[in-house]
């Protein structure tokens, strides 16, 4: 099997602060990979370095056989590579529907509006709650609704792969469970590939195929999610539980 995403020897950071050190990872198509590690390990920086929000100083990101390392964010979205940043990036002044429409802005041509409207309908089928709240503004939503909207907006772009940064942050356990179940269904039914950064280790490994543990900007362990979940020493050493 060839990987959908291959990251090779990425070095990245902020000015003189180097956060990622020779970071490499491969993600197979239609799988969920959980990225775990302590606060400050470099998980968010890794996602930003893949999606062009932070520019790596060296290394290579290959998506679907193409070197995307230097492509602008819009070009990545067009290729089906979408990043949902920490906090979701929902625009508080826009309505749910307007936020969702942003997910289709990259489309051009005569059928763009219709394709996006259809994609939004599919998102409403996944999240009835968003349909009910379509005229609400971002700032009127609960944390769980905002996170669903952020994920929904990414899905409007019809991605092959999503990078998710802490989708469960601050949410009540039943909502976390819903989001995790949804990700699992998207993988199983639509073949979506997911790179999932989570502090909520149990929930993430519960749905993941693979787990990757990062410490100080490097992969220290990777393996089947079930193996990582039962590895007590590893959990003590890197995950703090
Ligand atoms: P957390 O779970 O706390 O978000 P993380 O593993 O995602 O942790 P990062 O957010 O990638 O870690 O942070 C890695 C390092 O980079 C930390 O030392 C952090 O202080 C630093 N850092 C993060 N964002 C910036 C930024 N915009 N400018 C400068 N340094 C940053």
Q: What is the interface pTM, i.e. ipTM, of the complex?
A: 0.95
Q: How many residues does the chain have?
A: 241
The SS3 of residue 141 is: coil
Residue pair 129/145 in contact (Cβ under 8 Å)? The answer is yes
Could you read off the pLDDT of 142-154 as tens digits, one per residue?
999 999 999 999 9
Report the nearest atom of ligand 1 relative to the CA of 86: 4
Domains of the chain: 3-91+159-239 (3.40.50.300)
Pocket lined around ligand 1, Cβ cut-off 6 Å: 14, 17, 19, 37, 39-45
**Nearest ligand 1 atom to alpha carbon 13:** 16
86 to 4, 30, 32, 124, 198: CA distances (angstroms): 23, 22, 18, 22, 10
12, 19, 34, 197: residue to mutate for ligand 1 pocket, most atoms within 8 A of CB: 19
pLDDT for residue 96: 98
User: What average pLDDT does the chain have?
Assistant: 93
Tokens standing for residue 169: 């942050």
Instruction: Report the distance separating Cα 213 and Cα 207, nearest Å.
Output: 16
The C-alpha atoms of residue 149 and residue 182 are separated, in whole angstroms, by: 13
Q: What average pLDDT does this structure show over 218-231?
A: 90
- Please check the confidence at residue 2 and state whether its pLDDT lies above 80: no
pLDDT at 241 (0 to 100): 63
DSSP at 138: G
Take atom 21 of ligand 1 and give the residue whose Cα is closest: 40
Give exposure, 21-39, as e/b (b: 16+ Cβ within 10 Å). eebebbbebbbbbbbbbbe
- In this prediction, what percent of the chain has a pLDDT beyond 70? 99
Q: Is residue 41 within 8 Å of residue 216, measured between CB atoms? A: yes
Both ends of the chain: CA-CA distance in Å? 34
CA 13 to centroid of ligand 1, rounded, Å: 9
Q: How confident is the model at residue 199 (pLDDT cuts 50, 70, 90)?
A: confident
The arithmetic mean of pLDDT across residues 120-129, rounded, is 94
Question: What is the whole-number distance in angstroms between the Cα of residue 45 and the centre of ligand 1?
Answer: 6
CA of 2 to the centre of ligand 1 (A): 31
Tell me the CA–centroid distance for residue 189 and ligand 1, in Å. Answer: 34
pLDDT at 1 over 70: no
**pLDDT one-digit tens code per residue, 129-184:** 999 999 999 999 999 999 999 999 999 999 999 999 999 988 889 989 999 999 99
Token pair, residue 30, equals: 């239609």
């Amino acid at each position: 099997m060839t990987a959908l995403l291959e990251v090779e020897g990425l070095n990245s950071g902020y000015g003189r602060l180097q956060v990622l050190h020779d970071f490499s990872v491969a993600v197979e198509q239609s799988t969920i990979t959980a990225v775990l590690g302590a606060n400050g390990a470099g998980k968010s920086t890794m996602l930003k370095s893949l999606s062009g929000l932070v520019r790596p100083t060296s290394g290579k990101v290959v998506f679907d056989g193409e070197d995307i390392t230097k492509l602008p964010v819009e070009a990545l979205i067009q290729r089906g590579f979408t990043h949902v940043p920490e906090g979701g990036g929902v625009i508080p002044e826009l309505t749910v529907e307007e936020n969702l429409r942003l997910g289709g802005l990259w489309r051009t041509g005569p059928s763009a509006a219709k394709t996006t409207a259809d994609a939004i309908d599919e998102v409403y089928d996944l999240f009835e709650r968003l349909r009910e709240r379509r005229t609400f503004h971002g700032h009127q939503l609960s944390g769980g609704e905002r996170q669903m909207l952020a994920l929904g907006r990414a899905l409007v772009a019809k991605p092959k792969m999503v990078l998710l940064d802490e989708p469960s942050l601050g949410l009540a356990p039943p909502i976390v469970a819903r989001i995790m179940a949804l990700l699992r269904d998207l993988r199983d039914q639509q073949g979506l590939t997911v790179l999932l950064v989570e502090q909520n280790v149990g929930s993430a490994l519960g749905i993941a195929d693979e787990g990757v543990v990062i410490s100080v900007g490097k992969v220290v362990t990777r393996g089947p999610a079930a193996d990582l979940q039962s590895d007590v020493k590893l959990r003590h050493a890197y995950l703090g539980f």
